[in-house]
Structure 1
């Protein structure tokens, strides 16, 4: 009976953790999109300048700023280069989050920008989504957690000889 309750508790815990996955992925995607739009806005004026003088090549604009004799222009070159790099990062992150659900999940788990992932985690508020995707994640995580913990406990018990009757032990020692 205790084992059944433990199984239910583990399943419920896994279910509650699993339904958080789609919400976290969605929050991460929204954060990336907001940063992407902010980076685009920050580059808007420089993009126009690059379009007028360098056929839209921001790297050429940065190189021009770096080669300038004016110390103010050279200083601005680093600021613009940082904006370009940040924009490129946000564009890559945004494109990575445009694929199917498993690709988005893998990206957020293994390849996401650590700074953005931590920012999302810090601001994340737990939610109970009742979308089919969240329900599927919850059920899968619940079953997996319950199965893994029960299997681990059974393996430990079997290694320690817990749960075997004396007849079974004697039969195996013959």
Structure 2
């Protein structure tokens, strides 16, 4: 009886964990998009200058700033270069989060930006979405967690001899 309740509890835990996945993916995507828009707004004036003098090439504008004899311009070149790199990075991150769900999950698991992940975790509020993908994630995680933990418990029990009859134990010790 206890084993049945344990299975139910594990299933419920897996279900609750699983329904969080789509919400977290959505929050991360929105965070990336917000940072990307902010970076683009910060570069707007520089993009206009690059369009007028360098055919829209921001890297050429940064190079021009770096080559300037004015120390203020050279100092700004580093800041502008950082903004350009950050904007390009956020654009790549945004593109990665536009793919199919499995590509998004893979990206979050393997290649997501740690700072953006930390921001998302810090601001994430647990939610129970009743969207089809959340239900699917919930059931899949629930079944996987229940199966894995029960398999580990059964294997552990087998290793220490729980559930064996006295006759079987005597036969193996001869």
Normalised by the length of structure 1, the TM-score is 0.97
Residue 57 of structure 2 corresponds to 57
In structure 1, what is the Cα distance between the partners aligned to 2:57 and 2:70? 21
Cα deviation, 1:85-114, whole Å, max 9, x if unaligned, reads 110110010000111100001111221000
Once the two structures are superposed, the pairs formed by residues 113-152 of structure 1 within 5 Å of their partners are 113-152=113-152
1:92 aligns with 2:114: no
CA RMSD of aligned residues (A): 1.1
Residue 74 of structure 1 corresponds to 74
Cα deviation, 1:9-56, whole Å, max 9, x if unaligned, reads 011001000000000000000000000011111111101111111111
Normalised by the length of structure 2, the TM-score is 0.97
Cα deviation, 1:47-98, whole Å, max 9, x if unaligned, reads 1111111111111100100110011111111111111011011001000011
Residue segments in structure 1 that go unaligned for 5+ positions in a row: none
Residue 17 of structure 2 corresponds to 17
SS at match of 1:126: coil
In structure 1, what is the Cα distance between the partners aligned to 2:160 and 2:68? 75
Residue 161 of structure 2 corresponds to 161
Residue 2 of structure 2 corresponds to 2
SS at match of 2:108: helix
Q: Alpha-carbon deviation of 1:127?
A: 0.4
Residue 104 of structure 1 corresponds to 104
In structure 2, what is the Cα distance between the partners aligned to 1:36 and 1:24? 18
Q: Alpha-carbon deviation of 1:173?
A: 5.4
The count of residues paired between Structure 1 and Structure 2 equals 174
Residue 45 of structure 1 corresponds to 45
Q: Alpha-carbon deviation of 1:167?
A: 2.5
